[in-house]
Amino acid sequence: MITPRDRRFQRGIVSAVELNSTGHSLDVNAEDAARVRPKEHDIPITAAEEERQRRKTAWEAQQARQYYEEIVLKKPKGELVQIGDAAKEVEEKVSV
């Protein structure tokens, strides 16, 4: 059965549909609503969890390698470069 609302969507016109009442009778059990799903696994369930775990593992490996290079191999850290006021400094050097 096609309702007036369906006809509005068929024509591409989306408008408010009047309701007889805005009240409802939804009863929520407080005990069930407060329950949290226990995480009984250490393996990812969804693809998003797999990706998050892969990125975290890669980041931890990168950090461990960086610390190893700094502490054990005594490699210096890369020099930080300031990007913001580089043009101002060049102008000041030229005008003097």
The reply to whether 93 falls in a domain is no
Domain residues for the domain of 58 are 46-77
Express each pLDDT in 2-38 by its tens digit.
Answer: 666 666 666 666 566 677 777 777 888 899 888 887 7
Tell whether the torsion through CA atoms of 22, 23, 26 and 27 is positive or negative: positive
The pLDDT tens digits for 57-93 are 999 999 999 999 989 988 887 777 777 775 566 666 6
Residue 10 parent element (H or E) = helix 4-10
User: Is position 2 within any domain?
Assistant: no
Question: For the chain, what is the domain count?
Answer: 1
- Residue 94 lies inside a defined structural domain of this protein: no
Nearest Cα to Cα of residue 42 among 50, 34, 33: 50
Question: Is 19 part of a structural domain of the chain?
Answer: no
Assessment of whether the complete model's pTM goes beyond 0.85: no
